[in-house]
Amino acid sequence: MSKKYFGTDGIRGKVGEYPITADFLLKLGWATGKVFANEGKGLVLVGKDTRISGYMFESALEAGLSAAGVDTRLLGPMPTPAIAYLTRTLRAQAGIVISASHNPYYDNGIKFFSIKGMKLPDALEEKIEYYLDAPMTTVESAHLGKAKRVEDARGRYIEFCKATIPPSLSLDGLKIVVDCAHGATYNIAPYVFTEVGAEVISIGIEPNGLNINQDCGATAPQALVAKVIETQADLGIALDGDGDRLIMVDHHGEVVDGDELLYIIAKSRLEQHQLKVPVVGTLMTNLGMEHALQKLNIPLVRANVGDRYVMEQLLHHGGIIGGESSGHIMCLDRTTTGDGIVAALQVLAEMQQTGKDLHTLKAGMDKYPQVLLNVKVAKKINPVEIPAIQQAVLAVEKSLNTDGRVLLRASGTEALIRIMVEGIDEPKVVAHAQQLAEVVKNSVST
């Protein structure tokens, strides 16, 4: 069944433009309530990040859920993975996250978690969509849902994060800069790292509703790089606005991306005899990581781009470690979803246990040069269906042999062909990417 409202990660868009409007969120709360009231005794958690529209949408969802006869527990500003954790531990039927993740403040969105702390299965999203297109009703007054705030939500999640590394392990002696992107981790992440012993310098902890992800956080680590160098810190940690994405910076000021962090965590689990293979990446995972894992006899499975698809492959293959270059990292032996704070703790634990700094740990993987180009087309097409493009791709793959990789795909949202070429030889990679872009331009009318 084709879904009308849900994308690969919930519902997202610009505030004030359908469907990210107060009236739609009221109806979405009601539709969600109808589904989960039918599934069992209704209790739904609602959390949000720090963008200003969260106040409006929190109230709209609460009203809709109440109209459906479902009780609500309001968490306030909390990281997305915290809401997944609390949905499980508070035995809620579902958790709702009001967040547009790494997007700017004028966007917002809705994500859902099941009682297991995982993204909703397609069947439940389809049930919600069914009610979204049905007339809205209200239960009798005696059966209206009630709303309460969970006063200790922050403390519960802080303790959970700390428990994902051994209690005997201390980060004493580490100076860390933590960039919270003026987002949902602003009042959580600094405390987690401080309470496990690190000296913490915090930036991006002054949310005003409009500055979330603005020139800071995992999508813009330049401020973190500068602060690490300025303070001579051992490393930096950058989270995104909702706390499910992680990028780190070593003491030289070099950015350590999701692929490199995934490699460090997988290698650590292997050495501790705790790894369940395969490791799962995506179509965009750097070939250098795949080759580094091969040297450790760790197979890599590539999923479609998106943490939802990484999770699907982890569950299908029985793996525990997976993620994306962008910094979504899943440690399923510790939690049920991508979690920036938990992933960072796993890397810090490996540093303390081995006595190696972050720069040394990432050196086990050589990240290959990767060139990404977009070519506009008149309409959405599948590039592999055009013979001239097929032939050009085969020629480039033959030239790169096992030292490189090519990926052409149509954008899922725009009339673009996305071209990715990576390999050991950077000039060769650049030339091949430009060559393929010219072939695509000449093969399709713009």
What angle (nearest 5°) sits at the alpha carbon of residue 242, between those of residues 415 and 77? 135
Query: Taking the chain, what is the end-to-end CA distance rounded to the nearest angstrom?
Result: 32
Q: What are 13-16's contacts with CB under 8 Å, separation 24+?
A: 13/107, 13/108, 13/109, 14/106, 14/107, 15/53, 15/106, 15/107, 15/108
Residue pointed to by tokens 């990240």? 367
101 is catalytic: yes
**Cα–Cα nearest to 87, from 75, 99, 77, 98:** 75
Strand partners, 148: 73
Catalytic residue among 101, 202, 325, 326: 101
Distance CA 45, CA 62 (A): 10
Q: How far is CA 296 from CA 228, 275, 299, in A?
A: 31, 12, 9
* Structure tokens given for 8: 């690969």
Whole-number CA gyration radius for the chain? 23
Residues marked as catalytic: 101
